[in-house]
Amino acid sequence: MATRIENKKLSKSSSAWMKEHIDDHYVQKAQKDGYRARAAYKLLEINEKTSLIKKGMTVVDLGSAPGSWSQVAGQLVGDKGILIASDILAMDTLPDVTFIQGDFREAEVFDAIMAEVGNRQVDVVLSDMAPNTAGNSAIDQPRMMYLCELAVDFALATLPEGGALIMKVFQGEGTQELRKQMQDDFSKIRSIKPAASRPRSKEMFWIAIK
Ligand SMILES: C[S@@+](CC[C@H](N)C(=O)[O-])C[C@H]1O[C@@H](n2cnc3c(N)ncnc32)[C@H](O)[C@@H]1O
């Protein structure tokens, strides 16, 4: 029987996207390994290279849905670790993950995550947040930069010296300025483009140590 996808008339570009998605090595691997998204392999590679997330740590995962980074971070921090995740979208529950749904651009959401953190020391802040892209960089890039700036503010408010921010950026207008500003508050910043990040994507991950 033909699948719904085969039955549906797809435009040339969306059927090319669908083929690429289905053929994608990381999509298949994620299905096999039980991860909710191929993005899991980006965080796995970043942590292989940096060893920043360790057993027993407290980690905040911003832009967490559908939850593959939370799955990876949960495995890395283990039973004694604490994981707080947040997204504008709903996320299916994960064991031992506290999830707060809301728009991170709203002060109440920022404050609700801060309240959940309480007096705990946050060891690592993750941000894989990205806006729904309109395909127009004049609109997408400022939206992305704003989310990055908020993630940096959150990291500065919660991380102790030596704590880490792992954040997705889209290389383009505003990134150089943000990186320059961050150099005042973070002792070290490096960039990683994981193998699972599509080469044609402007996506890059910054690893900043406070
Ligand atoms: C690339 S996905 C994250 C994938 C996730 N790290 C994973 O591994 O499953 C980007 C996420 O950013 C979220 N996002 C975008 N704008 C947001 C906002 N204003 N507040 C909170 N989350 C936002 C999206 O809903 C989306 O789930």
Tens-digit pLDDT profile for residues 19-37: 676 678 999 999 999 999 9
Q: Ligand 1 within 6 A of 64 CB?
A: yes
Q: Which one of 38, 89, 202 would you pick to mutate in the ligand 1 pocket, going by the greatest count of ligand atoms within 8 A of its CB? A: 89
CA of 67 from ligand 1 middle (Å) equals 9
Q: Does any ligand 1 atom lie closer than 6 A to the CB of residue 143?
A: no
Please give the pLDDT value at position 42.
98
Atom of ligand 1 nearest to the CA of 91: 27
Q: Is the dihedral of CA 182, 186, 190, 191 positive or negative?
A: negative
> Which residue of the set 8, 80, 168, 188 is catalytic?
168
Q: What is the pLDDT of residues 22-81, one digit of tens each?
A: 678 999 999 999 999 999 999 999 999 999 999 999 999 999 999 999 999 999 999 999
Alpha helices per DSSP H over 3-67 = 4-7, 12-23, 25-33, 40-50
* Greatest alpha-carbon span in the chain: 60
Of 88, 92, 150, 205, best ligand 1 pocket probe by most atoms within 8 Å of the beta carbon: 88
Is 168 marked active-site? yes
Distance CA 117, CA 113 (A): 6
Residue 187 makes CB contacts below 8 A (sequence gap 6+) with 161, 209, 210
Q: What is the pLDDT of residue 133?
A: 85
User: What's the rounded Cα separation, in Å, for the pair 11 and 97?
Assistant: 39
